Structure 1
């Protein structure tokens, strides 16, 4: 029997106890999905779980996916496929491969086969003809989109909601929209689901999320906030990084400034602006990605 695609999915809600919140009578709990697994953390595992099951159903024996050189998705795919002994290929945005990059080093250690392409070719990663050529080149591979977002990813993200206590607001960082779409699918109509976009000009994601989720198409209990990107994807201010460091120091909550740190910083500002009514119960999803801190240190950005 092949090994089932399972990890221990028990983690906890960390309540943030702060005079800042107490004064406003607001409960804030952080779903610590960064603690799902030492290497396959957060929404990356939730997106991968049912994709790997679908890969097996199609009798594909390899995985092929896409990512940048510091990608959390590449890191998680490398770790997961090593864990489950699956041959894996990654199309990496180049034009060159830096062998000293910690994410690339880790992927290689896991046995991931890296195929570097120039930026022009990388832009074709959603093009049907390009995908067909890749499928012909790697006939045994199941092709997974960049970031792992598709209909199978939603199932794992939807499951997350079942593990949560009662809440009024559910908040997550949003890159490709898959996690947000899954949380909308899993949530009751009485819950307000909010995505904090981590990239500039992310309004287009609203349509992507509606394509992924029927509930998103037909319900208005969700929104994507697009003004908290702090300069764009992969960019962050010294104020945001100082906030991340303070959250770890004060509340023992480790954050990186690309995804979950950006979300928490936005959430803190919204609370300060009395966006949430007194008595609100808020749960924020820590989607992991802490491996990205090594890449930021390597580039001298923190």
Structure 2
């Protein structure tokens, strides 16, 4: 396989735009709401997926690797972005998918797109998937997928290179907001976003999974990327609505209403929970009058 082109060939739109939102639920509290439209960064690698992958792709290319091995669930945006990056840059891609019960069934739209972009899918049982960080389990997965020489990208793309890639997101918001908020899956985006902000700015993470495990993982990611964790970020664990990709009737009604108010399609796994949380926090008085809050829009609904 010929050498892959540099990631500059992806032609991202940087910096991504800031969009003011006139919403009476914020205005009544004297709070200004901005949307950081990271969903517009690249048509195939939206938002944090581009930022988390870009340095990993450069590293894989520099190491002479021609295959990317990564992990995700059946609806993983990270798998879709990695598959798209492989197609655009000439990497072969292999995705280890959680849930062996999915093997042999018709692919859902997300996995269909992965396959269309050339990703080879390997389904594993949930117990194996949970142990994927174990060196022996990873070695077994490499043998099963014939990817002994592949460059490994972790679930969600979150590693120290991903965190460094996401610092640019915070740097683009320096001097433009008081609070930068993002929905969190694996925590890599928040870890980098917070590190890129100026002193006096703070980052807020809204986990979309329940379990209360993200705090230590974010500190570990920052420690690996920068040597020490930062103190300018917090998490609010109240808005996961039951877990990943789960929704309540209240969340669905909120997202529908937000779309109607502002003419903005709201992605339901991450962005809806983020906007729902910020609206609730504003109405609780969590933000002082005069505060500018920026919500990072990390993706749009699938077509």
**What is the TM-score when the length of structure 2 is the normalising length?**
0.91
Q: 1:24 aligns with which of 21, 29, 32?
A: 29
* Alignment of 1:262 onto 2:273: yes
Report the CA distance between 1:154 and its aligned residue. 0.8
Q: For residue 119 of structure 1, report the CA deviation from its aligned partner.
A: 1.6
Structure 1 residues 119 and 19: CA distance shift in structure 2, 3 A: closer
Matches within 5 A, 1:179-258: 179-202=189-212, 204-214=213-223, 217-258=228-269
The superposition leaves residues 26-47 of structure 1 with CA deviations (integer Å, 9 ceiling, x where unpaired) of 1110101111122211111111
For 2:181, the equivalent position in structure 1 comes to 171
* Residue of structure 1 aligned with 2:12, choices 4, 8, 29: 8
Counterparts of 1:153-172 in structure 2, within 5 Å, are: 153-164=162-173, 165-172=175-182
Deviation digits for residues 223-270 of structure 1 (CA, Å, limit 9, x no counterpart)? 111111111112111111111122122112221221111011000000
8 A contact 1:180–1:195 mirrored in 2: yes
Q: After alignment, is 15-24 or 263-272 more displaced?
A: 15-24
- Cα distance in 1 for partners of 2:91, 2:120 equals 11
DSSP-derived class of the 2:7 partner: coil
Aligned residues, how many? 291
Contact 2:67 2:91 in 1 (8 A): yes
Structure 1 match to 2:157:
148
- 1:209 deviates by 0.8
> Unaligned regions of 5+ residues in structure 2, if any?
none
Match of 1:299 in 2: none
In structure 1, distance between residues paired with 2:89 and 2:244:
31
Asked if 2 retains the 8 angstrom alpha-carbon contact of 1:235 and 1:258, the reply is: yes
String of CA shifts for 1:10-64, please: whole Å, max 9, x gaps. 3311111123222222111010111112221111111110010111122211100
Range 135-144 or range 256-265, more displaced: 135-144
Following TM superposition, the consecutive aligned residue runs of length 4 or more in structure 1 with deviations greater than 6 angstroms are: none
Q: Which runs of 5+ in 1 are unaligned?
A: 295-302
Partner-residue secondary structure (3-state), 1:176: coil
Of 267, 288, 295, 1:277 maps to 288
CA distance in 2 between partners of 1:209 and 1:219 (Å): 10
* Pairwise CA distance, 1:175: 0.8
SS in 2 for 1:244: helix
Residue 289 (structure 1) shift:
5.3
Give the whole-Å Cα distance in 1 for the aligned partners of 2:43 and 2:299.
Answer: 10
- Cα distance change of structure 1 residues 156 and 289 upon mapping to structure 2, 3 Å threshold: farther
TM-score by structure 1 length? 0.91
Q: Where do residues 95-114 of structure 1 align in structure 2 (5 Å cutoff)?
A: 95=100, 96-97=102-103, 98-114=105-121
Residues 120-159 of structure 1: CA distance to partner in whole angstroms, max 9, x if unpaired?
2222211121223344541231011111000010122101
